[in-house]
A and B are shown apart, each in its own frame.
Chain A
Amino acid sequence: MNTKSGKGKVLLKMRDVRIDGFSDERWHEIVKGVDLTLRRGEVMGLIGESGAGKSTLGLAAMGFARPGCRLTSGEIVFDGIDLMAASETEKRVLWGRRIAYVAQSAAAAFNPAHRLIEQTVEATVGEANAAEARQDARELYASLQLPDPDHIGERYPHQVSGGQLQRVMTAMAMSPRPDLIIFDEPTTALDVTTQVDVLSAMRDIVEKFDTAAIYITHDLAVVAQMADFIKVLRYGEEVEEAPTRTMLSKPKQDYTKSLWSVRALAKPEEPADDIALSVENVDASYGGTVKVLHDVTIHAPRGRTVAIVGESGSGKSTTARVITGLLPPSTGRVVFDGEPLPAALRDRSKDQLRRIQMIYQMADTAMNPRHTVGEIIGRPLEFYLGLSGRKRDDRVNELLAMIELDESFIDRLPSELSGGQKQRICIARALAAEPQVIICDEVTSALDQIVQEGILKLLLRLQKEFGLTYLFITHDIATVKAISDEIVVMYQGGVVEQGLKSEILGPPFPDYTKLLLSSVPEMDPDWLTGLIAERDGK
Chain B
Amino acid sequence: MHPVVTTVIQRLALGLMTLFFVSIIIFASIEMLPGDFGETVLGQAATEETVEAFRKELGLDKPSYVRYFDWIGSVMSGDLGTSFSGRASSGVDRSRPVIDLVAPRLWNTLFLAGMTAIIAVPLALFLGITAALYRNSLYDRTVNATTLTTISFPEFFVAYLLILFLASLTQTFPSLANVTADTPFLERVNKSALPALTLTLVIVAHMMRMTRAAIINLLASPYIEMARLKGVSRMRVILRHALPNAWAPIAVVIAFNLAYLVVGVVVVEVVFVYPGIGQLMVDAVTTRDIPVVQACALIFAATYILLNLTADIISIVTNPRLLHPR
Contact = CB atoms under 8 A, between A and B. Distances in A.
A291 interface: no
Contacts of B229: 59, 62, 64, 95-96, 100-101
Interface in A423-479: none
A94 B229 CA distance: 9
A111 interface: yes
Given A96-B232, A112-B320, A156-B324, 8 more contacts: A62-B229, A92-B232, A96-B231, A100-B229, A105-B222, A110-B223, A113-B245, A113-B318
A169 B26 CA distance: 56
Contacts of A487: none
B70 to A, nearest CB: 43
Contacts of B220: 67
Contact of B231 (A111, A114, A123): A123
Closest 6 CB pairs of A and B: A96-B230, A96-B231, A95-B231, A113-B244, A108-B222, A123-B230
Nearest to B247: A113
A231 interface: no
Contacts of B225: 66, 103, 109
B324 A108 contact: no
A109 B222 contact: yes
Nearest to A123: B230
B251 to A, nearest CB: 15
Given A101-B229, A113-B244, A158 B222 contact: no
Contacts of A158: 320-321, 324, 326
Nearest to A160: B326
Nearest to A182: B229
B324 A159 contact: yes
Interface of A: 59, 62, 64, 66-67, 92-97, 100-101, 103, 105, 108-114, 122-123, 126, 155-156, 158-159, 172
Nearest to B324: A156
Given A103-B226, A158-B326, A159-B326, A108 B232 contact: no
B241 interface: yes
A109 B226 contact: yes
Main secondary structure of the interface of B (DSSP, over half): helix
A324 to B, nearest CB: 29
Given A158-B321, A159-B326, A111 B233 contact: no
B228 interface: yes
B137 interface: no
Contact of A113 (B222, B230, B231, B320): B320
A101 B320 contact: no
Q: Which of B220, B222, B229 has the most CB of A within 10 A?
A: B229
B227 interface: yes
B170 interface: no
A110 B226 contact: yes
B222 A103 contact: yes
A110 B231 CA distance: 15
A92 B222 contact: no
B324 A97 contact: no
Contacts of B6: none
Given A108-B221, A113-B244, A92 B226 contact: no
A109 to B, nearest CB: 4
A220 to B, nearest CB: 25
Contacts of B228: 64, 95
B326 A122 contact: no
A112 B246 CA distance: 11
A123 B220 CA distance: 20
12 contacts: A64-B229, A93-B231, A96-B230, A101-B226, A101-B229, A103-B226, A109-B225, A110-B223, A111-B223, A114-B240, A114-B244, A159-B324
A112 B241 CA distance: 9
Nearest to B323: A156
B223 to A, nearest CB: 4
Nearest to B223: A111
B231 A94 contact: yes
Given A110-B226, A112-B321, A159-B324, A92 B244 contact: no
Interface in B286-326: 318, 320-321, 324, 326
A156 B245 CA distance: 13
Interface string B240-255: 1100110000000000
Nearest to A173: B230
Contacts of B245: 111-113
Nearest to B224: A111
Contacts of A110: 223, 226
Nearest to A64: B229
A129 to B, nearest CB: 18
A273 to B, nearest CB: 45
A310 B86 CA distance: 80
B233 A92 contact: yes
A92 B231 contact: yes
Contact of A111 (B241, B318, B324, B326): B241
B230 A95 contact: yes
Contacts of B227: 111, 122
Contacts of B326: 158-159
A417 to B, nearest CB: 23
A59 B221 CA distance: 16
Nearest to B227: A111
